[in-house]
Structure 1
Amino acid sequence: MTYDPHSKSGTSRQEILDLLAGLAPPELAESFDSGRIGLIIEGKEHITKISTCLDVTPAVVRKAIENRSDLLIAHHTPIWAPLTSIGGDDARLFSMILQSEMNVYVMHTNWDHAPGGVNDILADLLGLTERENMSLGLVGTCVRTVEEMVRILKAPLRIWGNVEKVQRLAIAAGSGFDSALIREAQSLGADAFLSAELRHSVYRSSPLPLLESTHYALESPAMRVLAEKHGWEYIDDLPVLHSLS
């Protein structure tokens, strides 16, 4: 039986899991993701409605339950560290999920590395062409100005260093500011590097100007596009930022 994403009667959980594993093969994941991807919370075996999200937050879970989702596909796992006890916020979150019998599936660094995954979708959004893959992320020809990138990403953009015009842009969605990766981007002809969550020491040693956006702005498009392509629903939970002057 072949999975039909538009079927009104739903399908088996295993068929959906096979589809997701095909899109983001588990073997592409970084070693630190061992045990943290795939079906991490098991629920109903029959799937009629699917939602996607970046983070499994209480707000996202409540919305997914309200939508009667049988499967929530996330980029970030809600269980990062091993649990020896469950209480407080974790207990409340898992209680909602388990009572609803909703499945939770995580596709993290395997979705980052996958063709057509997180970084390719971000590159599509920014209009990058003539792409070359890096060990994480890619470098592509850029026709956007920095101001246009801000409008496209709908998020603040900090500029570290002098940027006049970006012709070859390196991108690494998420927390990708790594000194070795920046040097790799430079070797591929990049004249700027876009990622999130920059450390001061990395900036100081960088041979390239760095463009710092938010983790959410760079990775959430992949989960939104995944939902759009398959007729699922993306649940937004944009972090609230406050600036004090």
Structure 2
Amino acid sequence: MYANDIFNIIDELVPRKLALKNDKFGYFGKTFDNFDIKNIKVILDLLPEDDLKFDKGDLVISHHPPLFMPKTPTYVVHSNWDIVQGGANDALAYYLGLKPISIFHKQTGIGRICSSTKTLDQFLALVCYKFGPENVRLVHDGDFDKMLRKIAIVSGFGLSNKEFIKLAKDRSVDAFLSGDLNHSNAIYAKKLGITLIDVSHHIIEIPGLFALKELLRRNEDITVPVEMIDNGVPWKYISADF
């Protein structure tokens, strides 16, 4: 398949017009002369060491824009994938058994508010089972038996945004699940009395990455293999015996 044909298919499935203003998306590469593509690799982040491992004929579909000019042809679907129906946030809801009932941030289309029939304790048990307890942090003061009727979710970065935490309070959700929580926003959430469930940015994006791979793989017009690559977090943990 030619790269331009794949780009056109992606743009139909995940419209560029949905992307946030000033977002970086689309083609990243030194040149573009409609490459002949043999394989599609779906990843979260393209790192320099990974870029060197790809073969001629590979096309990278990355969720996050690369921070360097890659040698491998790379196409980015970023905020438009977060926003589109069936994209990253809907995939996250499905993975957690939640039913989206409305958009969380209506001005942009980011995030979902979902209905729930679980207590906080039950939902935390599910989140830890799905993502691993080592990847989960909680900001909460109160009753673990309280019912979570409405849960706000944002795939990736939501807890780094103070406006989103305030919006969760304003929209009367019972808990807000996302990633990238920092110290000051945790203090702010305690001040507001809002329950936050923080999951590692990397791992909370994996359901959406898998959904993107399946969306491309099942498209009858894409005739080359589609593979998802999870290259892990971009850091190492230091043990006591390093």
Q: TM-score normalised to the size of structure 2?
A: 0.78
Runs of 4+ in 1 over 4 A off after TM superposition: none
- Alignment partner for residue 218 of structure 1, among 201, 204, 212? 204
* SS of the residue 1:227 aligns to: helix
Partners in 2 of 1:182 and 1:140 — Cα distance? 16
Q: Does 2:224 match 1:234?
A: no
Quote the residue 1:72 is aligned against.
60
Stretch moving more, 125-134 or 49-58: 125-134
Q: 1:58 to 1:158 in 2, by over 3 A?
A: same
Letter in 2 for 1:191: D
Letter in 2 for 1:204: I
Letter in 2 for 1:234: M
State whether residues 139 and 185 of structure 1, in contact with CA within 8 Å, keep that contact through their aligned partners in structure 2: no
Partners in 1 of 2:12 and 2:53 — Cα distance? 27
Identity %: 28
Partners in 2 of 1:183 and 1:133 — Cα distance? 15
Deviations 1:172-207 (A, max 9, x none): 111112233233333444101111111333222323
Deviations 1:213-245 (A, max 9, x none): 111011122122211343310111112552768
Quote the residue 1:159 is aligned against.
138
Q: Does 2:195 match 1:209?
A: yes
Quote the residue 1:50 is aligned against.
40
Long gaps (5+) in structure 2: 218-225
Partners in 2 of 1:234 and 1:59 — Cα distance? 17
Q: Does 2:99 match 1:129?
A: yes
* SS of the residue 1:110 aligns to: helix
1:9-88 mapped onto 2 (5 Å cutoff): 11-33=1-23, 36-41=24-29, 42-43=31-32, 45-65=35-55, 69-79=57-67
Deviations 1:41-99 (A, max 9, x none): 1455222210100000134324433xx552100011113xxxxxxxxxx5xxx5xx43x
Quote the residue 2:173 is aligned against.
190
- Root-mean-square deviation (CA), in Å? 2.3
Letter in 1 for 2:93: A
- Alignment partner for residue 120 of structure 1, among 71, 77, 90? 90
**Count, aligned residues:** 213
Quote the residue 2:113 is aligned against.
139
State whether residues 51 and 71 of structure 1, in contact with CA within 8 Å, keep that contact through their aligned partners in structure 2: yes
